[in-house]
Chain A
Amino acid sequence: MRRFIPFMIALGLVALLPLVSPSDFYINLASQAAIAALMALGLNILVGYAGLTSLGHAAFPGIAAYLVAWLSTRGGLGPGPAAVLAVAGTFLVAGLFGLLALRATGLGFVMITMALCQIVWGGAYRWTSLTGGDNGLSGVPRPFGDMLTPTTFLWLCLIVLAVAIIQIGRFAESPLGVALRGTRDQPRRMSALGYDVWRIRFVAWLVAASWGAVAGLLYAWYHQFVSPHMLAVTASAEVLLMVVAGGAGTLAGPLLGAALVVLLKNLASIWIDRWVMLLGATFVFIVLIMPDGLAPGLMHLRERFRKRMASPTIAPPLAGQERIDG
């Protein structure tokens, strides 16, 4: 459990944000980042560990958010039962989608996941009587009544995020997690060793979808409103960007990526109208200098810094010098 300590310290520091924040704005921003991080952590199971790039991950938070919104506004259920049913419903849909999507890998998988999410988006957009169409569903009631202030909502998000970090972190090092990476690197060998590659991927898919569903609940409660925008291709692409920019296949990567995207999106848009351009430029910059993402890139930097500290007189040899010496 020692490797989770830095994560818990980081979450603890974010939890103290309300003490220093001049307004609710920054507290809410942190909540948004935590929800985004939850989505990214889930998607990272597929993209990073399973090697399955999904461009439809928004389907899971989207379906869960719509379900909890509909059940608790029009369905007459309390937020608690609605949440349970929403996660269960998303899980079932994910099972069905998994049967379809996991027939393919690589580019085929990208296209199928995108198409499945587009179907859900189309339903949300067009089935107006059920979903409210472009207007969405508003007035989603929150759980815990008046107890949820911006501060306590942030804490709720952080607690859920902490559970996700521990669950996914332990999963990654477990026999199943190691096997999942095995199916990414050597699927043929894995089946020759007795592993059921399809079933391992299916389980990973369901875990990813489940954390997506939980993120969807928090999303619906945070905004108290759901609309088709959260199911759009751009929403899925944004989560994928968080994972890739932060560092796919690492635990810290999706968290860093989510924080970066949410902060850029909300802070940069205050100062610059064309903030999307800034977002794009940031990603180009990351890809250029840290092609594996922020988390591995920063680790690499730290390593180099340490080496330089350890032997201050000897500068790290440059490739060019090596060639001359050799």
Chain B
Amino acid sequence: MAEQALEVANLSKIFGGLPAVNGISLSIAPGERHLLLGPNGAGKTTFFNLLCGDLKPTQGSVRLFGEEIIGLPPQKRAAKGLGRTYQILTLFPQETIRRNVMIALNGLRPGKWGFWSALDNNEDLAAEADALLERVGMSDIAGRVVSQTSYGDRRRLEIALALALSPRVLLLDEPLAGLSREERVTVQRLLDTLPRETTILLIEHDMDVALAFAERVTLLHHGTLVATGSRAEIAADPRTREIYLGA
């Protein structure tokens, strides 16, 4: 079997007796777009937090391209190519959009320890930030402070920050949450431009966008994996209707 981008084995997180994530095993192939489905409280975000290292699992293993990452702190996992976005916007609100991206670009470089030259004087980094902002269609507002931007712009910046690390595996936690229909289209276009070198695991409730985007789907309920398979299989599975659509 070819090496999986992400290989999760028997991963559990128990919050004081309540299993939020209960023995999930899941393989995601390189380049795959994989959608995590499940009603609120299914354990999707907890699952992400276990993957990226914000939470310590009660048990289980997570391999990133064959390498065990459980036990590593979040910054080491980032260095190994795991990127993520947050359901609740997690930006630097008092900095400009360009600076937000510069901070993100610097995260895995030794230059982040520089304490004498100003960050803004690093022209190479600023140019790189502008190139990334061009890619996500935000170069016209690069100089704006985040707190003065629209919610839709912030959602795109949320993704841009994760892209700055050129992650091998990207975890997207509800990238469309709270967006208007027009804004959804811009984010959807952005997601479609992401290269196949990046494997994507997505949590999203907008079924139109999510199902169009993902080839494979996993259904979670009460922290357990109910079904995993191709888009068509899961869409046809009666349990999906039962659990997710509540019908």
Contact = CB atoms under 8 A, between A and B. Distances in A.
A173 B119 contact: yes
Nearest to A174: B115
Contact of A178 (B95, B108, B161): B95
Interface stretch (B24-32, B82-90, B220-228): B82-90
Given A191-B73, A192-B84, A193-B165, A173 B107 contact: no
Nearest to A168: B115
B103 A174 contact: no
Nearest to B83: A192
A173 B92 CA distance: 15
Contacts of B138: none
A193 B53 CA distance: 12
A192 B115 contact: no
A173 B75 contact: no
A177 interface: yes
Interface in B96-117: 99, 102-104, 106-108, 111-117
Nearest to A207: B115
A176 B114 CA distance: 6
B74 interface: yes
A192 B86 CA distance: 10
A195 interface: yes
A128 to B, nearest CB: 41
B78 A194 contact: yes
A304 interface: no
A9 B162 CA distance: 43
A15 to B, nearest CB: 26
Contact of A185 (B94, B107, B111, B120): B94
B112 A189 contact: no
Contacts of A228: none
Given A192-B52, A193-B78, A182 B113 contact: no
A192 B164 CA distance: 11
Nearest to B164: A193
A161 B52 CA distance: 43
B91 A179 contact: no
A179 B112 contact: yes
Size band of the interface chain A makes with B: 20 to 34
A186 B115 contact: no
A74 interface: no
A170 interface: yes
The size bracket of the interface on B is 35 or more
A24 interface: no
Interface string A274-293: 00000000000000000000
A170 B115 contact: yes
B149 interface: no
Interface in A174-220: 174-179, 181-182, 185-186, 188-197
B3 interface: no
B54 interface: yes
Contact of B111 (A173, A175, A188): A175
B187 to A, nearest CB: 19
B78 A189 contact: no
B235 interface: no
B103 A182 contact: yes
Contacts of A177: 115, 119
A196 B99 contact: no
A174 B119 contact: yes
Given A186-B91, A186-B92, A174 B165 contact: no
B115 A193 contact: no
Given A192-B84, A193-B104, A186 B117 contact: no
A178 B119 contact: yes
Nearest to B104: A193
Contacts of A196: 73, 75
A171 B115 contact: yes
B122 interface: yes
Nearest to A186: B90
A200 B107 CA distance: 12
Contact of B107 (A174, A176, A195): A195
16 contacts: A170-B116, A174-B114, A174-B117, A174-B118, A177-B115, A182-B92, A185-B94, A186-B90, A189-B91, A189-B161, A191-B73, A191-B75, A192-B78, A193-B107, A194-B112, A195-B112
The 6 closest A-B pairs by CB, nearest first: A194-B107, A193-B107, A191-B74, A194-B78, A173-B118, A194-B108
Given A175-B115, A191-B75, A194-B112, 18 more contacts: A171-B116, A175-B106, A176-B113, A178-B95, A178-B103, A179-B106, A185-B92, A185-B93, A188-B54, A189-B86, A189-B91, A191-B53, A192-B75, A193-B103, A193-B161, A193-B164, A194-B79, A194-B165
